[in-house]
Amino acid sequence: MADDLNLPKGDLMKGKKGLIMGVANHNSIAWGIASQLAAQGAELAFSYIEAMERRVKPLGESIGVKVFVPAEVTDDASMDQAFATLEKEFGTLDFVVHAIAFSDKNELRGSFVENTTRDNFLMSMNISAYSFVDVARRAEKLMPNGGSMITLTYLGSERVIPNYNVMGVAKAALEAATRYIARDLGPKKIRVNAISAGAIRTLSLAGIQDGRKMIAQGRQFSALKEDTSVEGVAGCALWLLSDLGRSTTGEVIHVDAGFHMIGLPDEAAE
Ligand code: NAD
């Protein structure tokens, strides 16, 4: 539960209401972010897919969440219903956390060019990239006083990471979408950013072949020589979603213990 995490308490999010999309269980990155935002006084709503309801509700309730909305991002009727419920319960929104991705795990292995089917390419793009555009358009209508939105991405968008394959292409689209949404919503004082997190042990990572190796390699080759912590990602989210982040938009921020900027690991030079 949230007690497992070392999260600073305070009032940075007091008076702010937001939607958290993507809690599946207590390992989810969205759960770490939600716990940090709650510890800083935010009022939260959780969206979830039906299959996860049994796990998500008790987690949310343990940090005071009262609004739960089913939301399947590929289904317009489900999204219409989710945002109608949010409007009824909250009236307006101050922030959104989008932590959603999916691809067929049979295609997150081996050769990208050989293994990528049209159907899974389109599904991965739909769930992992287009959904942020759709959510942003809907959430903007509930943000008359401005706001902040974040999404979660990974280095596989910028560089080739073995087995990440079509998800890397979807993350590249997600990061570009972040910039275009930030441009469109900027005049409405809505900030839009992406956090590029290092590998963290979650359900999603388990779907990638050798996902565990990604964690070990992150530890070995990162500048800090340590795992990316959920607390570190949640801290960045708190900065971006609170007024502390007021001048930052359209940005992709790496929170990966300095893995992304190493060109050649020391081991390769020995
Ligand atoms: P997770 O499996 O806990 O979360 C993924 C969430 O996506 C789940 O809650 C799932 O229910 C939701 N989801 C999938 N398909 C959906 C759909 N059709 N409609 C609505 N929701 C759907 O894993 P996570 O690692 O916490 O992933 C959260 C985000 O962080 C993802 O975008 C992921 O790509 C990103 N990310 C993860 C890592 C990592 O190493 N774990 C690193 C960088 C970025």
Question: Nearest CA to 19 among 108, 85, 102?
Answer: 85
Q: Percentage of residues in the chain with pLDDT exceeding 90?
A: 94
For ligand 1, is residue 156 a contact (CB within 6 Å)? no
pLDDT interval class at 1 (50, 70, 90): very low
For ligand 1, is residue 203 a contact (CB within 6 Å)? yes
pLDDT digits 0-9 by tens, 15-40: 999 999 999 999 999 999 999 999 99
The reply to whether 130 belongs to the active site is no
Of 265 and 64, the one with more pLDDT = 64
- pLDDT mean over 167-172: 98
Residue nearest to atom 33 of ligand 1 (CA): 101
pLDDT at 3: 61
Q: Taking 70 as the threshold, does the pLDDT of residue 223 lie above it?
A: yes
Question: Residue 255 C-alpha to ligand 1 middle, in angstroms?
Answer: 16
- pLDDT mean over 242-267: 96
- Residues 99 and 64: their CA atoms lie apart, in Å, by 20
pLDDT at 267: 80
Q: What is the mean pLDDT of the chain?
A: 96
Token couple for 102: 């999916």
pLDDT at 4: 78
**Ligand 1 atom with least separation from CA of 73:** 19
- Residues 253 and 193: their CA atoms lie apart, in Å, by 8
pLDDT digits 0-9 by tens, 76-129: 999 999 999 999 999 999 999 999 999 999 999 999 999 999 999 999 999 999
pLDDT at 269: 72
Point out the catalytic residue in the list 48, 130, 154, 180: 154
Out of 26, 81, 204, mutate this one to test ligand 1's pocket (max ligand atoms within 8 Å of CB): namely 204
pLDDT at 233: 98
DSSP 48-108: E-GGGHHHHHHHHHHTT--EEEE--TT-HHHHHHHHHHHHHHHSS-SEEEE------GGGS
For ligand 1, is residue 152 a contact (CB within 6 Å)? yes
Task: State the first-to-last Cα distance of the chain, in angstroms, to the nearest integer.
Answer: 43
pLDDT at 270: 73
For ligand 1, is residue 28 a contact (CB within 6 Å)? yes
- pLDDT mean over 148-162: 98
For ligand 1, is residue 100 a contact (CB within 6 Å)? yes
**Ligand 1 atom with least separation from CA of 228:** 40
For ligand 1, is residue 24 a contact (CB within 6 Å)? yes
Whole-model pTM over 0.95:
yes
pLDDT at 266: 85
